[in-house]
Structure formats: C-alpha cells, structure tokens
Amino acid sequence: MSEFTYLFRGRNTSGSPEEMQRHLEKWVAWMKDLGASGHIKEQGHPLEGTGKVVRGAQKIINDGPYAEAKDVVGGYMVIEARDLAHAAEISKGCPILDVGGSVEVRPVQKLNM
Amino acid sequence: MEPTDHLFRRESGRMVAAITRIFGIHNLSLAEDVVQDAFCRALEVWPFRGVPENPSAWLMATAKNRALDVLRRARTARTFAPEVGRLLKSEAALAPLVDELFAANAIKDGLLRMMFSCCHPLLPEEAQVALILHILCGFSVSETAAAFVTTHAAMEKRITRAKKALAKSKRLFDVSAGVEFSSRLPAVHRALYLLFNEGYHGASAETAVRVDLCREAMRLTALLIEHPLGAISTTYALAALMCLDAARLPARVDTSGNLSSLFDQNRSQWDQELINEGLKFLQLSTSAPEITEYHVEAAIASVHARAPRAGETDWNTIVSLYDTLTTLRSSPVVALNRAIAIGQNQGPEQGLEEIRSIPNPNRLTAYPFYWAALGEFELQLARYDVAREHFATAVALARNPMERGFFKRRVAATQIPNPV
C-alpha cells in the first residue's frame, strides 16, 4: 500500500438548503465508505478560504490565495491505495466532482534508503 | 422520518427569522447571506470532522457568530432593526443581545413574527404563501416554483416583489401586541390553509413535495397553537382539518404508485394517530361559538375519518355541512363537492342534476375532477359512452402524470359494462 494526498479544490457555495444538505450527506457517506474500507490514513483538515501568500526572497506577504473559487484548496486528506491509478479511481466517488470541483491526487514521496 | 430529514430547510427558516430580528426586515437578504454562509461552513467542516452531535445547535451557533461579525463590521455604516438599534451602539451590549435573540423561545417568537410579517395585507395571498415557503420553510425560488407548478421566472418575480414590499414595511410584525395579532391572524390562517391545500390538492406530481408542503403547514400551525394569542378556536379548527386530511395521505397513492380516490382507499393505511390528534383539535375548536370554513371543513374530514368503509359514510351530515360551507364561502369547487355528496346520498341522477345546476361553471370546466365527477355518475347510470367522454376530457386536463393515469383507468372502467 502507498500513501496519496487528496487535495480538494473548489467549494459549493450556492444551492438551496435542501441541495446543500443532500450534498453534505453525500460527503459524509463517501468519507464513511473510505473509512470503512480502510483507505483513510489521515482524516486531514478543511482549510479556510482566506489566508496569506508569502513570496520571494523579499518575503512579501499578500492576502490570498485569491484563486478562482474552483481552484481554491478547501481541504486535504491522506489515503492509502495500491497505486496511483487506484487512488485516482477511489477519488471518483468524491461529491466535489458533482459541483464543478476537482480532486488532485498526489503520491506522497517515500524516502528510499 | 430521519431526525435530520430536511434539517437545513428547517434551520434556514429559524435562523433567517432570528437574524432578521436583529438586522431588521430591510436587511432580509443580508440575513439570508449569513445563513447561507453557515451552511457553506457546515459543508466545509462536517465532511472532515463528522456531523456534530447537535447539528442544529452547531448551525445556530455558526450563524450567530457570523451575524455578530456583520454587526461589528457594519453597525456604524448600516442601520439595523430599529427595535434593537440603540443596543447595537454599545459593544458590551451586542453579544448578550444576540444571545438573547437566539434563545429557544426567542427563535419561536422570531418565526411567528416573520410568519405574520409575510402575511402583510398589501401582499396578494399567493405572494404571502410563496414568501412563507421561501423564507420560513427554506425552499429556494426554484423549489417554491416547482411546488406551485409555475416557472422559475414567474416565482422569482413574485418573491422579489414581495420581499421589496416586506422591506418597506420597516418593522417586523410585533406578535406581543394583542389587537394587531388578532386582526392579522385570519390572514395567517388563510395563508397556512392555502399552503396545506397546495400540498393536498395541488398540481405537483411529486408525492414527496406535496407531503412536505402539508407537513410545513402543520408545523407552522402548531407554532400558532403554542402562542397564547394564537390558540383560539379557529386555529384549532385549522389544525384539525390539516390533521384529518393529512391522515389520508398515506393511502392516496396505492402500492403500485397509482392515485387512489377517497372511495377506493385502503382505510387501514390512514394515520390513526393523526386522526386522533385531529379529533382532539376539533373538540378544542368548539370552545367558541363562531364557525369558520375551517371548522366546517374539519367536520367534513372527521365524518370521513370516522367511516370504516366508504359505504358507511354519513353523507347526510356531509351534505348539510357543505350547505353550511356554501353560506360561509361559496365557490365552484365547494359546489362541486356538495353535488358529489348529494349524488352519494340520493343517487347519481340527483348528483348530475346538482352538478348541472352549479352557477358559473366556467372555472370548473378547466378542473379535471369536474369531468371525472360527471363521468362517475354517468358510469353508475350505465351510460358508458357519455362517461367515457367525460373521463377522456379529464385525461386531457390532467395536471400531472399521476392524475392522467388515474383518469385513464377510469376511461378503461367504462369499457367493461359492469354496472355498480
């Protein structure tokens, strides 16, 4: 088993209360499935939409990330899967895909000594 | 029903009502933004942290904090509710004030204020009902449009206009003032009655939507009953009528998903608990001498509820109740129902006679059940061709696939000469 990080991009900010609730229920169910099938290595965290970006040798601090809503990372988690293809396959169940978001699947680098 | 079923919808109304008390009715859309924010927050956090033990309290607390943020940021630039404006000037008074308006009792009070505000006399009835569904029951514009089987554009226009009118009214309705409460109460009754009817008789094909509307109307009526000024005979009558009618909902669609008429329903599926509750409310509604249309409609529903089989219905009583209803509120549909009851009581010839003598039937002729009633009586008289034609007209006028299927089966019933 290898470890992969899911970066969830995009957020669902519109929708009626009922639609938001349905969407949330899908998330909860998906997370539960992942947990039950032993894929979750670290539950991860949701991230605030605001923050600062520090850049360059001058260490200039800007408000940020100011990306388009669909590109903002809203949270991350670490999962376990056989390989990258498997990790990507599992991510297909993520409800963020229903609302124009994306899941970035990145293998966690292992130190091979 | 799951405890969290429609949680967001329900909380939406409670939170908007509570925040509007602080922000003021002219800042309704700001209150709605704060509530939307709270839902977004839940959507960001709950997947990772799990659904909180008390989701409703979590949402309330989040909305409360957001509301405080808004107040702190904007209290010098914006004017909020005139009732609390003075208190907003002091930072020290701010948090306790917001806490107070988010206490359980205050939230109930807030819902009532909003409900009475939505029934503003300057607003047409259909706008009042749409507002209630939208603001208090958390239906989006699209969902409200779907519930009333109208276009999104039309509903958006109706709701936007109504909100503007509401904003102009400056203040939320004060439910502690006895005289005003009592004089606005009939409009509130009427709006809740229309909301319930939209669910019960409306054109929506979605059984779930219709049950939701009935349930929402009942929930808001219960809120009226809990208020000392609201618990009057007419409110009890309205609650009785809703319970007794809603008790039949589980039997209205049979196991194959087909619409089932009052005569064919499997009465063992009627919700006995709701019937008992309805009868209790009906009893309470007799506390005052006045009689409203709700009293009479509840009494009619109670006669049906008491009949173990359709054949044992006390049609005599029902006809005389319809006579009373006609004097209170005569309408073509009331006249049609009265004619149907007479037909049950005195035979199909008499029923047809009564239907034909309804004055101004123009509005009725667009109503599929008018033709279905004619068809039933003709069928009972073994005039199959005429009956078939009437049912075919009903098929053409049906408002949704479920009604269409129902009338088509009635057309089919005319093919087999099997007189009742």
Q: What's the pLDDT tens digit per position in B330-372?
A: 888 899 999 999 999 999 999 999 999 998 888 888 899 999 9
Q: How many CB pairs under 8 A join A and B?
A: 68
Show the DSSP H helices in B307-347 as ranges. Answer: 315-328, 332-346
Q: Does A93 touch chain B (CB under 8 A)?
A: no
The distance in angstroms from the start CA to the end CA of chain A is 18
- A54 sits in which H/E element: strand A51-55
Cβ-Cβ contacts under 8 Å for A51 (sequence gap 6 or more):
A63, A64, A65
Q: Interhelix angle for B28-49 vs B55-74, to 10°?
A: 130
Q: How confident is the model at residue B93 (pLDDT cuts 50, 70, 90)?
A: confident
Cβ-Cβ contacts under 8 Å for B254 (sequence gap 6 or more):
B260, B266
CA distance A91 to A3: 13
User: Are the beta carbons of B255 and B303 closer than 8 angstroms?
Assistant: no
CA distance B360 to B107: 47
Show the DSSP H helices in B83-206 as ranges. Answer: 85-88, 91-101, 104-118, 125-131, 141-147, 152-168, 178-201
* Residues of A whose CB is below 8 A from B50: 28
Whether the CA torsion B166, B170, B174, B178 is positive or negative: it is negative
CA distance B224 to B111: 10
Q: How confident is the model at residue B95 (pLDDT cuts 50, 70, 90)?
A: confident
Q: Which of A38-42, B199-203, B220-224 has the lowest mean pLDDT?
A: B199-203
Nearest residue of chain B to residue A8 (CA atoms) = B44
Residue B279, pLDDT above cutoff 70: yes
A55 CA to chain B: closest CA distance, Å?
Answer: 27
- A32 sits in which H/E element: helix A17-36
Q: What's the pLDDT at B417?
A: 59
Q: What's the pLDDT at A113?
A: 64
Least CB–CB distance from A24: residue in B11, B42, B49? B42
Q: What's the pLDDT at B261?
A: 87
**Tokens in use for B54?**
């008390």
Q: Residues B73-88, buried b or exposed e (16+ Cβ, 10 A)?
A: eebeeeebbeebeebb
User: Are the beta carbons of A72 and A63 closer than 8 angstroms?
Assistant: no
**Tokens in use for B39?**
């839902």
Smallest CA-to-CA distance from B203 within B162, B145, B246 is with B145
* Residues of B whose CB is below 8 A from A16: 9, 138-140, 142-143
* Residues of A whose CB is below 8 A from B8: 17-18, 20-21
**Tokens in use for A74?**
């809203």
For chain B, the residues whose C-beta falls within 8 A of a C-beta of chain A are: 4, 6-9, 11-12, 36, 39-40, 42-51, 138-140, 142-143
In percent, how much of chain B has pLDDT > 70?
98
Cβ-Cβ contacts under 8 Å for B331 (sequence gap 6 or more):
none
User: Are the beta carbons of B58 and B42 closer than 8 angstroms?
Assistant: yes
* Residues of A whose CB is below 8 A from B55: none
Q: Does A46 touch chain B (CB under 8 A)?
A: yes
Supply the DSSP symbol for B289.
Answer: S
- Matching residue, tokens 């099997």: B418
Smallest CA-to-CA distance from B35 within A68, A66, A67, A21 is with A21
Residue type, B39: F
Residue in A6, A20, A27, A40 to test binding to B, most B beta-carbons within 10 Å: A20
Q: What's the pLDDT at B1?
A: 31
Residue type, B294: Y
Pairing outcome for strands A60-64 and A2-9: unpaired
- A64 sits in which H/E element: strand A60-64
Q: What is the pLDDT of residues A69-112, one digit of tens each?
A: 778 899 999 999 999 999 999 999 999 999 889 999 999 998 77
Report the mean per-residue pLDDT for chain B. 90
Residue B88, pLDDT above cutoff 80: no
Whether the CA torsion B341, B343, B344, B345 is positive or negative: it is positive
Q: Does A112 touch chain B (CB under 8 A)?
A: no
Residue type, B321: L
Q: Distances in Å between the alpha carbon of B60 and those of B12, B35, B41, B92?
A: 9, 9, 12, 21
pTM for this model (two decimals): 0.87
User: Are the beta carbons of B247 and B394 closer than 8 angstroms?
Assistant: no
φ, ψ of residue B83 to 5 degrees: the values are -65, -30
Least CB–CB distance from B46: residue in A16, A24, A44? A24
**Average pLDDT, integer, range B256-277:** 91
**Tokens in use for B261?**
């008429």
Smallest CA-to-CA distance from B101 within B43, B17, B186, B175 is with B17
User: Are the beta carbons of B235 and B225 closer than 8 angstroms?
Assistant: yes
Residue B167, pLDDT above cutoff 80: yes
Q: What's the pLDDT at B2?
A: 43
